[in-house]
Copies of this chain bind each other. A is one copy, B any other.
């Protein structure tokens, strides 16, 4: 594991890579604020003619909305270079699973938008508090739709008991496909004293009630995310690097796809957590060790003028 803070290492990474894959939350921004200096670095790479790709597990934005957010924070891009889990889960359901019934969605409007874009029928977005007790008559108010053949779980700020009744009930059928976007347990939200639950919390609750693990993960480190990228973008893994803030998702994703990996400490994973991984004797954790570490992407800004 190498420190990437020096200009030498920075120049070396530029000359040895044609493609830079960036995670977003915790790397480019935290909540509504850009990570200071990060935009200068990304734009510098674009101006050098490098291929810049955005790869995010966050399902709360469609590709169109990511174009807007990236642009508003200083990262102009176009949607062909943006891979979010709202988009990849819609691709999976349409082209791989070829779902012909309905999808029960524990998710959000952006996931619905991407499903609509590929013509997948879905329901479940928004508040659902039909049942709130263990009373049989109350539970029965959660009417079940017999035409559901997939449950998709992404970020849902309206997660509720009723939604868990429905997801558990649909997934009792072993032929009902169970898709999840990602397992991130927390979101990095800047100087926030609150802990912010990520999609991993919603997925854990559905796994528990359904007594099943997801059949497919549509985000990092799942392999489908890289397949989606490769389908439309030509990447030479030998000359590509994945830059992220989370060892479990970004670094494992990079390693599993033979990319170089760089971890920044501006988001989820801390230097302490990496040290714990290095000291662990658990071989499974080795996949989480990045090739390079850097406190923040913005630390490179001084080399980009």
Contact = CB atoms under 8 A, between A and B. Distances in A.
A226 interface: no
A107 to B, nearest CB: 13
Nearest to A142: B194
Interface string A155-194: 1111111001100110110000000000001110110111
Contact of A172 (B131, B195, B210): B195
B165 A194 contact: yes
Interface stretch (A9-17, A201-209, A275-283): A201-209
Interface size class of A (residues with CB under 8 A): 35 or more
A71 interface: no
Contacts of A192: 136, 139-140
B185 A197 contact: no
B140 A169 contact: no
Contacts of A168: 186, 194-197
A193 B135 contact: no
B32 A195 contact: no
Contacts of A196: 134, 139, 165, 168
Given A169-B194, A192-B136, A193-B169, A157 B185 contact: no
B133 A157 contact: yes
Interface string A81-121: 00000000000000000000000000000000000000000
A19 to B, nearest CB: 28
Given A168-B195, A204-B208, A189 B134 contact: yes
Contacts of A202: 205
B139 A194 contact: yes
Interface string A24-58: 00000001100000000000000000000000001
A195 B140 CA distance: 10
13 contacts: A131-B157, A133-B157, A139-B196, A142-B194, A159-B161, A164-B201, A165-B197, A169-B193, A185-B208, A195-B210, A197-B208, A204-B208, A205-B208
